[in-house]
Amino acid sequence: MNKKYDFLIVGAGLYGAVFAHEVRKAGKTCLIIDKRGHVAGNIYSERIEDIQVHKYGAHIFHTNNKEVWQYVNQFAEFNRYTNSPVANYNGEIYNLPFNMNTFNKMWGVITPDEAKKKIEQQRNESFVENPRNLEEQAINLVGVDIYEKLIRGYTEKQWGRPCNELPAFIIRRLPVRFTYDNNYFNAKYQGIPVGGYTRMLEKMIEGIEVKLNVDYFEDKERWDSTADKVVYTGPIDAYFNYKFGILEYRSVRFETEVLDMENFQGNAVVNYTDSETPYTRIIEHKHFEFGTQPKTVVSREYSAEWQLGDEPYYPVNDEKNSSLYEKYRVAAEAENKVIFGGRLGEYKYYDMDKVIEVALQKVKEVLSK
């Protein structure tokens, strides 16, 4: 069979779309296939009651990388949304990320000095020089009260594992600030694409052939034969038929409902940080775009252990899975025709901006060969 395309791209998510856009710009041909019935992977959004609903979990674009920010702005205009979730701990409301508003509500402290002293006092008994896990890291950073009320319950629900068995880096994603600033991210640029992520992604892949509802593995050899190179963005262990073992993920289940009211919770994101509430957070989608529709759409997010056949969301980067991934990474290097990319292809807890950054780098590298 004659090769028809320069690249076959398996997966129409963000990594695949950036890759496709760039190679097309360079005059190469490509075909995108995806097993789902829609493009955009997990950033897919859908209009319900005239509100953009983030079907696979809320995505807030944020980056410090100017090049990446300019890059996405080619495909969409971004609104001024700044993520500032609130935490609900048994009916007590706290601002996130951990900042002076949080410390004031927790302890009544007014100045940054008072807050620092309070945290020092709190961690004194339990301070460890080199935190080996999330619990130690969290207590080092913000002390016991915040750990107990705002971190432990949420984290254990989200990851299904005790905090002292989780890697410290997960919590390093969250800023700790001694200013009254509720911006969740330390990022220069932030926003949500006007018109939704799906439309943004469709713009990226404009003019590129896409086949949906196609399972690559059902006819892998034939698909491979259609192109010189394959860009594979699915789970890396699935590619190798799980020959070294199955990598673990956390999956998420969403219960989405339309409510006949204008405003349910007054914020896009409310985290339920106690252990008893079965969901981790409630997303009220309209607040991502300052919506004024008469109705509202909310999604309760339930974190679940992933099983083969479920949608994978978060790679579990603990020691066991990291060393298993390492075996797959080495095997992947030997597959000369295949490029592995994205959150699943590289088994990494990537944010969207990082996905774009690595995809752009990879394309450059591949095109210069």
Active site residues: 173, 177, 250, 281, 301, 349, 351
Q: Which is nearer to ligand UDP, 8 or 174 (CB)?
A: 174
- For residue 361 the two structure tokens come to 């780098």
Neighbours of 242 (CB within 10 A): 13
Question: What single DSSP character describes residue 334?
Answer: T
In the chain, the DSSP E strands lie at 5-10, 30-33, 45-48, 51-54, 61-63, 86-89, 92-95, 189-191, 209-211, 227-232, 249-259, 269-272, 281-284, 296-305, 314-315, 338-340
Taking the complex as a whole, the smallest distance from the CB of residue 171 to ligand UDP amounts, in Å, to 5
In 76-179, the DSSP E strands lie at 86-89, 92-95
**CA 303 to the chain's CA centroid:** 14
In whole angstroms, how far apart are CA 267 and each of 83, 286, 296?
Answer: 9, 9, 12
Q: Which is nearer to ligand UDP, 176 or 367 (CB)?
A: 176
- For residue 327 the two structure tokens come to 């075996």
Q: Which is nearer to ligand UDP, 68 or 171 (CB)?
A: 171
Report which of 285, 318, 287 is spatially closest to residue 301, judged by C-alpha positions. 285
Distance between CA atoms of residues 76 and 15, nearest Å: 17
Q: Which is nearer to ligand UDP, 6 or 156 (CB)?
A: 156
Q: Which is nearer to ligand UDP, 181 or 224 (CB)?
A: 181
Question: Do the bridges between strand 227-232 and strand 338-340 make them parallel or antiparallel, or are there none, so unpaired?
Answer: parallel
Taking the complex as a whole, the smallest distance from the CB of residue 369 to ligand UDP amounts, in Å, to 34
Region of 102 on the Ramachandran plot (φ > 0 left; ψ -120 to 50 alpha; else beta):
alpha
Kindly list the residues in this chain that would bind ligand UDP in the complex (CB under 6 A): 87, 96, 150-151, 154-155, 158, 170-171, 173-174, 271, 273
Provide the β-strand partners of residue 95. 86
Report which of 175, 170, 187 is spatially closest to residue 96, judged by C-alpha positions. 175
Q: Which is nearer to ligand UDP, 271 or 277 (CB)?
A: 271
Distance between CA atoms of residues 219 and 221, nearest Å: 6
Q: Is 253 helix (H, G, I), strand (E, B) or coil?
A: strand
Q: How many residues does the chain have?
A: 369
